[in-house]
Structure 1
Amino acid sequence: MANKSLQFRIAAPEDAAQIQNLIQSAFRAADTRAKWTGSAELASQFHISVDEVLASISKPDRAVLVATDPATGNPVASVEAFRRDPGLARLSMLAVDSAYQRGGLGRRVLARAEDHCRRAWGSRRLGLNALSTREELIAWYVRCGFRRTGETSAFPRERFAGLELPEDLCFVELEKDLGVVAEEIRGSGVEGGV
């Protein structure tokens, strides 16, 4: 699906249900690329509520950015950005509708989120994490300019009781220096802020 004409904006409360559906569909999707989604069983158990999305949209120092199809107005990609502390912002829940994947939209959404964090909060660094089993996703983030910090954070095993999980399952922490974002945005065809 072509995504050149997509519109980018900050989500409003009335977007919460569509964003919840988008995130769940993206996180539960079966992808044929090895090591991209990790455990299909674990992915199938992923759940986020409309209330959780609404809270993210409504909290101060947070923004949910969306790319919308101009023909329908529906969100086709989203990411949550939040200010962690002075100089550091984090991203979570990057999701792209399967019909729009593999066309560079994820990279464009990341660039918009990075730009938003710099402009809105003066962020100099941007962090995120990915499941340790999602090797291809981690490699993609590295190609987008993130680096592994060497740190990990615990996976909430209690939320997935009954699943056989790898003993060493955790979140791999990544970070990016936002001092280079302006150059990347100029070179990527992404114009303006969100």
Structure 2
Amino acid sequence: MADIPKSLNFRTANADDASALQQLIQAAFRAEDIDIAHIAKTVTDPDGDFLIASNEAGDVVATIAVSKREPDLARIFMLAVDQRWQQAGLGRQVLAYAEEYCQRTWGVTRLGLDALSTRQKLISWYLRRGYLETGETKPFPRDAYSDLDLPEDLVFVQFEKSISPLDV
């Protein structure tokens, strides 16, 4: 295993980062279907950003996307950590940075995200980070994955977390 980064440096992604982000997300998600157009759209959206975490050498080690959805609500999605450093605590640091970024940038007091209903370890991880299930679900886009044998009850479970406004 590569050395765990001692500190992370964060920046917002730009259009030139889209391809590298796609590769990182596809490797972390173990999926080949991440649409670069969706990544590029988020990078250029005035109410959204991809945040990039790099190590001391400047290598991109993780990313997370954020989007303002309502005056007091931001959504967090596509948290991806380089496979070499998964389970090393980087995801927790990246998520915490994204939460603070949403507070500082948009002044939101609520954060939302979703997780696949079959990802019990991930759901438990989000619960430990203070996210609570809202009781709502979103359907999984089965049509886009008609060639896969998917569980009949597969859905996205919705989570939300209340945060205090930052003193400015």
- TM-score, normalised on structure 1? 0.81
- Say which of 56, 70, 86 aligns to 1:70: 56
Superposed CA deviations along residues 8-47 of structure 1, whole A, max 9, x for unmatched, are 111121111111100000001xxxxxxxxxxxxxxxx551
Superposed CA deviations along residues 117-142 of structure 1, whole A, max 9, x for unmatched, are 11111110000000000011000000
Superposed CA deviations along residues 51-109 of structure 1, whole A, max 9, x for unmatched, are 221111111110111101231x2321000000011100001100000111112110000
How many residues are treated as equivalent by the alignment? 165
Q: CA deviation at 1:180?
A: 8.6
Matched, 1:106 2:108: no
Matched, 1:162 2:147: yes
For residue 66 of structure 2, what is the amino acid of its counterpart?
A
Does the 8 Å contact 1:111/1:181 carry over to 2? Answer: no
Query: Aligned ranges for residues 111-190 of structure 1 at < 5 Å?
Result: 111-179=96-164
Q: What is the alpha-carbon distance in structure 2 between the residues aligned to residue 108 and residue 99 of structure 1?
A: 16
Does the 8 Å contact 2:107/2:165 carry over to 1? Answer: no
Q: What is the alpha-carbon distance in structure 2 between the residues aligned to residue 9 and residue 88 of structure 1?
A: 21
- Say which of 17, 20, 40 aligns to 1:18: 20
Q: What is the alpha-carbon distance in structure 2 between the residues aligned to residue 156 and residue 121 of structure 1?
A: 30
Q: Secondary structure of the residue that 1:179 maps to in structure 2?
A: coil
- TM-score, normalised on structure 2? 0.93
CA RMSD between the two structures: 1.6
Q: What is the alpha-carbon distance in structure 2 between the residues aligned to residue 66 and residue 170 of structure 1?
A: 28
- Which runs of structure 1 show a deviation greater than 6 angstroms over 4 or more consecutive aligned residues? none
- Say which of 4, 7, 11 aligns to 1:5: 7
Q: What is the alpha-carbon distance in structure 2 between the residues aligned to residue 154 and residue 144 of structure 1?
A: 24
Does the 8 Å contact 2:6/2:56 carry over to 1? Answer: no
For residue 84 of structure 1, what is the amino acid of its counterpart?
R
**Which has the larger share of strand?**
2
Which runs of 5 or more structure 1 residues have no equivalent in the other structure? 29-44, 183-194
Does the 8 Å contact 2:109/2:165 carry over to 1? Answer: no
Q: CA deviation at 1:181?
A: 8.9
Q: Which has the higher contact order (CA 8 A, sep 6+)?
A: 1
